[in-house]
Amino acid sequence: MIYKPKGRKHYIVGFRFNGKLIQRRTRAISKKDARIIEARLRSELAKGNFGILESKPAPTLAEFLKSDFLPYTQSKFAPGSKTLAYYIYGADMLTKSDLTNLPLNEITDQHARGFEARYSHLEKSTVNCGLRTLRRSLNLAFEWSKLDRQPQLKLAKGENERTRVLSASEATAYLEACSQPWRDVATIMLGTGARPDEVYRLRWEQIGWRAGGGIIHMLKGKSDNAERPLPLLPEVYEALKQRHADQGEPHAGWVFPSDSASGHLMQGSAKNQHAKALEHCGVEPFAPYTLRHTGLTWIAPYCDAYTLARIAGHSSISMTMRYTHPQQNSIEQTFARIGSDTSRQKVIANGDDRSLLAESEDAELAPLSAKKSVA
């Protein structure tokens, strides 16, 4: 017997051998592959190789982090990237915690809660760095068949969420309180939905000018889709054009140069300027990344989800959904447009239960039907 549990993508094989029910979860996503695995199991059991049914001992968390997780992240993310540094820091926290010697298959959400309590004196974002690393490690262990189950771990509550969306008045008050160069950085993030680091590392070679506008050519970065063109809205164009003029209209170089080792604006300096702006604008404090969330949310009503994912530089729409936050008025406007659709009202009034699409298809097929009846 081969079946796929509801909501799962991998098949399970089950059969009886010598009167005993044998069930094994596979990594197969097609019936053909699942049957090959079932045949192999039957063949090994027929040879007397009953050890094939024994589960291999799970590695400890410390062993998995050192031999599997860290090498994987170092190969996946560019050296010096924030994501790599984030996971390295999280792995270090876990290695120094009480979880380090636990076998992977014994770790549960209860252990995660204990980890949270152990580091309760730290900021929630720091605690969640460890928990996110733990969750990612266990998910990878499951994908790589080192775990038979996928534990569900919750993050610590109270972290300064990035999902807040600024109102237009808040954004205006905030920008007026910003000093340069942070004001231009914030303007670009709000107008394009770009990541902070993408703006910090922006170079003049990436900007294509044209009359009254232009395009920022974002380079490869955090995701496979990070390389993308972002047209300039008027406010972004004006900010960049003024900065370009102030720097003597260079053809190359950093848009936001600084005395840092990298030569461009860095996160530390940016956060300091952000904090000073919050002190004088009267807006409830928020994380700088909120500017990206706000920008993408403002763009969302003007395009479909696939286009928005492309603008955001995401590899999947599911990630984009975390960055958009439709307001109640936009939901009401959507239904108002549906209600004002006269063609839809006509179909309903006539009691026709066909969709408009089906009706249009019938109209296209009508001449063909007529020809058949004449024949």
Q: Tens digits of per-residue pLDDT, 10-37?
A: 777 777 777 777 777 676 778 887 788 7
Alpha carbon distance 231, 215 (integer Å): 4
Q: Which residue has the higher pLDDT, 186 or 335?
A: 186
The tens digit of pLDDT for each residue in 60-71 reads: 999 999 999 999
Please give the Cα distance from 262 to 95 (Å, whole number): 31
* Whether the predicted pLDDT of 346 surpasses 70: no
pLDDT band at 371 (very low <50, low <70, confident <90, very high): very low
Give me the percent of the chain exceeding a pLDDT of 90.
Answer: 46
> What is d(CA 355, CA 348) in angstroms, rounded to the nearest whole number?
10
Q: How confident is the model at residue 79 (pLDDT cuts 50, 70, 90)?
A: confident
Confirm if 299 and 310 have CB atoms less than 8 A apart: no
Is 90 exceeded by the pLDDT of residue 3? Answer: no
pLDDT on residue 354: 45
Across-strand partners of 208? 215
pLDDT band at 367 (very low <50, low <70, confident <90, very high): very low
Farthest-apart Cα atoms in the chain, separation: 85
CA distance 192 to 206: 14
What is the C-alpha separation between 124 and 116, in angstroms, rounded? 9
Cα separation values, 304 from 145, 227, 321, Å: 37, 19, 12
Please confirm whether the linkage preceding 181 is cis (ω < 30° from 0).
yes
Beta strands in the chain (DSSP E): 2-3, 12-17, 20-25, 207-210, 213-218, 228-231
DSSP summary character for residue 206: G
Q: What burial class does residue 350 get, using C-beta atoms within 10 Å of its C-beta: 0-12 exposed, 13-18 middle, 19+ buried?
A: exposed
Spatial CB neighbours of 373, under 8 Å, sequence gap ≥ 6: none
pTM of the model: 0.57
Could you give the CA distance from residue 113 to residue 96 in angstroms, rounded to a whole number?
16
Alpha-carbon separation of residue 155 from 111, 120, 126 (angstroms): 12, 13, 11
| Residue 343 confidence class, pLDDT cut points 50, 70, 90 | low
Are residues 46 and 73 in contact, defined by beta-carbon separation less than 8 angstroms?
no
Q: What is the pLDDT of residue 207?
A: 96
Query: The dihedral of CA 153, 157, 160, 164: what is its sign?
Result: positive
**Length of the chain as a residue count:** 375
Two structure tokens written together for 64: 């998995």
What SS3 class is residue 111? Answer: helix
Q: pLDDT tens digits for 117-153?
A: 999 998 888 999 999 999 999 989 888 878 777 788 9
Q: Residue 372 has what pLDDT?
A: 38
Q: Computed from CA positions of residues 183, 188, 194, 197, in that sequence, does the dihedral angle turn out positive or negative?
A: negative
Structure tokens at 154: 């919750």
The answer for residues whose C-beta is within 8 angstroms of residue 4's C-beta and 6 or more apart is 10, 11, 12
- For residue 111, how many C-alpha atoms fall within 13 Å in the half-sphere facing its CB? 21
Residue 358: predicted pLDDT: 43
Q: How far apart are CA 90 and CA 87, in angstroms?
A: 5
- As a whole number of angstroms, the distance between CA 246 and CA 255 comes to 11
Mean pLDDT across the stretch 186-201?
A: 95
